[in-house]
Amino acid sequence: MRYEDFIKLNYVPENDLICEYYLETKEDFKKAAGGVAAESSIGTWDPDLTTMKPEIEKIAAKVFEIRGNRIKIAYPLDLFEMDNVSQILSSVAGNVFGMSIVENLRLLDIVFPEEMLKKYRGPKFGISGIRRFLKIKDRPLVGTIVKPKLGLNAEEQSEVAYKTWRGGIDLVKDDENLTDMSFNRFEDRVSKVLEMKDRAEEETGEKKGYMPNITAPYKEMERRAEIVENLGGKYIMVDILTTGWSAFEEISKYTKLAIHGHRAMHGAFTRNKKHGITMLVIAKFARLIGTDQLHTGGVIGKMEGEKNEVIEINSSLRSGNMKKTFPVASGGLYPGCVEKLIEILGKDIVIQAGGGVHAHPMGSERGAMAMRQAVEGVMKGYSLKEYAEDHEELKKAIERWGVVE
């Protein structure tokens, strides 16, 4: 089969996996589009394969739509080991990105057929389960990351976490590169932080969550998840991309704990708008495997992420029959962002601030109070500036960072 033979514009997909790509080429566009379908399914550069048989041609991928630089390809399910994300991605996002006929290629979206979805259980808890655990019905969750991201010992980190919980933070997490450091051993940190979590719960009467980063080679992740569970923790955090899809699939099946998915390294795939993979695709796979919470971009703040793109990702995580994944807005956020964030992204989000809590002029506990006040004020129908009139911590935060209009 020549590359052009993979163009089937009259084909109507039924039970196929559908991928949408953005494609640029300096050669014939249809030939390049067919090349993507060929090389991601059964084809190769030389069409005269003596091993090609008619029954094999039946499972070829088909380019069934071309709109400008966008193409849609239908993949018959026989091409996939359906419960193996690594194999699926090796097909639809594998060698095709390195083809010489392709100048730029970006996997924009993926749609899983029902038959494939049945192979995955998705999040164990999802939005509804996490809300039940924390006893928070309808407001955004408020989270923080202990800062500085590296350098504090276990005792110091537990004190910082305790202060933010006392100030009103719901969830505290490790940062993406804090695992088992010489100055902050994993088991010591988890033990001390969970002890302070229990103390904060007793003092505030609220449920709190701690998400220790268990990212490591797979067997070590198992061991660390067991440590967290044995110490009474309810959450773990995994750097899903640097860990790898197969290891992430396994830890999701293994653990009984809620999983907070960190997207560290995603920018290497998602940042170039003409080449790579979108965060939407990564988010869909992460939910499929079992991520209960996932960083999706904050629209506002220090991390790249266009408004419409983040809205689409969040909507995807909260739609369909599978349990819904909690989108996490983070990256350079502070109390003055809260009103705009809720307006854009709704209330089913985790608003996570690191520097926006710990750089508060009155300290971490008051910084936590300011974040919580911002959320409560907006949920009560006040503007941030109005609510700050009677809330000193929020007022100080606004004086420092302002309000996003």
- Assign a CATH topology to domain 3-117: Alpha-Beta Plaits (3.30.70)
Taking only the tens place, the pLDDT of each residue in 152-175 is 999 999 999 999 999 999 999 999
Query: How far apart, in whole angstroms, are the C-alpha atoms of residue 368 and residue 394?
Result: 10
- Cα separation of 161 and 152, whole Å? 12
> Per-residue pLDDT tens for 349-399?
999 999 999 999 999 999 999 999 999 999 999 999 999 999 999 999 999
Q: What are phi and psi of 137, to 5 degrees?
A: -85, -50
Could you give the residue numbers annotated as active site? 147, 262
Q: How far apart are CA 233 and CA 7, in angstroms?
A: 52
Is the pLDDT reported for residue 51 higher than 80? no
Q: Give the tens place of pLDDT for each residue, 181-232.
A: 999 999 999 999 999 999 999 999 999 999 999 999 999 999 999 999 999 9
> 281 with 109: CB under 8 angstroms?
yes
The hierarchical CATH code for the domain 126-401 is 3.20.20.110
Cα→Cα distances 95→38, 253, 384, Å: 11, 29, 50
> How do the domains of the chain map onto residue ranges?
3-117, 126-401
Whole-structure pTM value: 0.95
For the record, the structure tokens of 369 come out as 């109070």
Q: Cα separation of 287 and 388, whole Å?
A: 37
CA distances from 41 to 61, 73, 87, 373 (A): 6, 10, 12, 53
